[in-house]
Amino acid sequence: METGRVRWPAVAGSFYPEDPKDLERSVREQLAAARQPPEGAPPPKALIVPHAGYVYSGPVAATAYAALLPIRDRIERVVLLGPSHHVPLRGLAVPDAEAFATPLGVVELDPDGIARALALREVRRLGSAHQWEHSLEVQLPFLQLVLGTFRLVPLAVGDARDDEVAEVLDALWGGSETLILVSSDLSHYHDYATARRLDNATSRAILALRPAALGPESACGRVAVRGLLVAARRRGLHAELLDLRSSGDTAGPRDRVVGYGAYAFVQ
């Protein structure tokens, strides 16, 4: 939750371990088990990463974060976008806080980046959109252990056009010091075969940079994903599939699954 200058964890103990030692062990084990990027692979400028409980989506998320290990020393700022699950809003929202906390410590927000975002008509300050939002929070322990110290620009994404999200990304794009991170799961609560079919179609759209092909069944974070695809196409990036599974592959039953995909966008 958000109190004063710090936004405190809302889902520690449910989506991921609350004890710092247990949390660090969980993340490090998942990173160690993840497929590592091949030597000489181009570094990602942007990632799409799932945001469910670690027991379900953690192995897929770890595959995305493993791709950052070769460039961990050059990333100084993370622009993090995720869907607003609890508070309806028009456009995008930054928090009232000056820092986000997890059991692993405090991540300072980037005031310059937030000011740059707030200068755009589609961005406003709305603490309530961040208070209970898990889609951003669950990414932070992975980022803390992979990157160490970094500044954060967190954006809760509501109802927005593709070009509006792309405009925000353009304003915050930066250089090699900035990572763009979109938090999104894929299909929700279908049987395993249906989820696989839907998620394969979503993957094809992402890899082809076709935002118009992503609809309500594709991904909960589709608004941010679509904006990223627009920005990536403009800047000549291409998408690579790092991992594609569902909760039926990781830790859950197969009659009602959630899909998870990890994607890197490289020059």
What are 114-126's pLDDT values in tens digits? 999 999 999 999 9
What are 200-220's pLDDT values in tens digits? 999 999 999 999 999 999 999
Nearest CA to 227 out of 169, 187, 176 is that of 169
CB 93 within 8 Å of CB 114: no
pLDDT band at 48 (very low <50, low <70, confident <90, very high): very high
User: What pTM was computed for the model?
Assistant: 0.97
In DSSP terms, 82 is beta-bridged to: 156
Look at the chain and report how many structural domains it folds into.
1
Q: What is the pLDDT of residue 1?
A: 47
Average pLDDT over residues 3-27: 94
End-to-end CA distance of the chain: 37
Q: What is the CATH number of the domain that holds 99?
A: 3.40.830.10
What are 51-74's pLDDT values in tens digits? 999 999 999 999 999 999 999 999
Domain with 144, as residue range(s), is 2-266
Q: Which amino acid is at 41?
A: A
